[in-house]
Structure 1
Amino acid sequence: MAPTTETLTAERILEATEEVLRRHGPAKATVVDVARALGVSHGSVYRHFRTKAALREAVTKRWLDRTSEELAGLVAGDRDPDPEARLRDWLAALFAAKRRKACEDPELLATYMVLVGENGEAVGAHIADLTGQLTRIVAAGVAAGAFAPAADAETTARALFHATGRFHDPSYAREWTEPDIETDFTAVVDLLMRGLRA
């Protein structure tokens, strides 16, 4: 094990863990493998993450948070104040982010599907964050008079999230390369918009 010259941080450990998971998969990847990739002892990794489960939870959360952060910028409406356009952009960005992960790094997606199955808390928090973003867009649309007054913006947001599940739930990833997927996505979003309009 070669000594490391960089300061060992949680972020460096998470980056290395992603690479180890990509290389070995979740069943075979160990904390020792992560430590070896960093050139440190496994005890050094455990100083940042007390257990292997805590490390796996942190790497899962980091992966999910990337999508949330990418979408957060669309919520405020800085680029487009029109609520319908903002909602369309947000749904399209969610689909694009998930499809990119599935198509560009299928090994890591498969690994994360296993990790996500182990860590329901991170998934629940991720879904809550995404539906919270949607809730803010819907509430802004109702306030602007673009969307019909809904009984509850949060309920409407959850319905939108579930209605578009085929385009962001990784269990549908195999369908995301089908030739008509964009047409199907647009048709679903158009239908939802017609239902939301005031």
Structure 2
Amino acid sequence: MAATETLTAERILEATEEVLRRYGPAKATVVDVARVLGVSHGSVYRHFRTKAALREAVTERWLSRTETALAELTAAPDRPAPEKLHAWFAHLFEAKRHKAGDDPELFATYNVLIDENSGVVEQHIGVLIDQVRSIVAEGAREAEFAAPDPDATARALFDATSRFHDPAYAPEWRRPTIETEFEAVVGLLLRGLRA
């Protein structure tokens, strides 16, 4: 790291991703992160008090990228709710597939980190289900969906589509029929929601 660059939490998280990709979660250390940044490990600890806190932050950062993209889709005012809900699940599926396929080493690493940080994962899932609830409630207000309980409906939709976003199913996402299967499930769910 050049002497004029300021050490920020964001730079540390970027370096941590690089180190995790290179060494995996079992061998990556704070010293490795500091070495990539050209600083002492004490400098890293000034931003993240423990290795666990650093790993939790990098997991949260990774998950929040998906949340942000989906929040934009959720807030889009120019789409009817059925179309928006389909696009939301399609985007979530595509984002998860890209993470698994484009960078398999980091994806495998994050699966380990996710198991360590269940609170972060539970919060992430809560954010996603709340986004689905928002779309379902919008559809109910516009009489596009018959959903008297948007909270329960959102949870059911999320659970019913887990095969297309839960990392445990990642090996299935490479199958040639997976997109057809996705469309069949989401289509069935949307037909069931129609008012």
Do these two structures clear the TM 0.5 threshold for a shared fold by scoring above it? yes
Q: Which residue of 1 aligns with 2:82?
A: 84
Q: What is the percentage of aligned positions where both structures have the same residue? A: 67
The answer to whether the 8 Å contact 2:140/2:148 transfers is no
The answer to whether the 8 Å contact 1:84/1:146 transfers is yes
Q: Distance in 2 between matches of 1:67 and 1:86?
A: 16
Which runs of 5 or more residues in structure 2 are unaligned?
none
Q: How does 1:155-194 map to 2 (within 5 A)?
A: 155-194=152-191
Which runs of 5 or more residues in structure 1 are unaligned?
none
Q: Which residue of 1 aligns with 2:13?
A: 14
Q: Which residue of 1 aligns with 2:121?
A: 123
Q: How does 1:65-144 map to 2 (within 5 A)?
A: 65-78=64-77, 80-144=78-142
Amino acid at match of 1:189: V
Amino acid at match of 2:107: L
| Cα distance, 1:3 vs structure 2 | 5.8
Q: Distance in 2 between matches of 1:69 and 1:98?
A: 14
Q: Aligned pair count?
A: 195
Q: CA RMSD in A?
A: 1.0
Large movers: runs of 4+ above 4 Å: none
| Cα distance, 1:77 vs structure 2 | 2.5
Amino acid at match of 1:23: R
Q: Distance in 1 between matches of 2:38 and 2:3?
A: 6
Q: Distance in 1 between matches of 2:94 and 2:102?
A: 11
Q: Deviations over 1:57-113 (max 9, x none)?
A: 0000000001100111111123x3210000000000000000000000000010000
Q: Distance in 2 between matches of 1:3 and 1:182?
A: 46
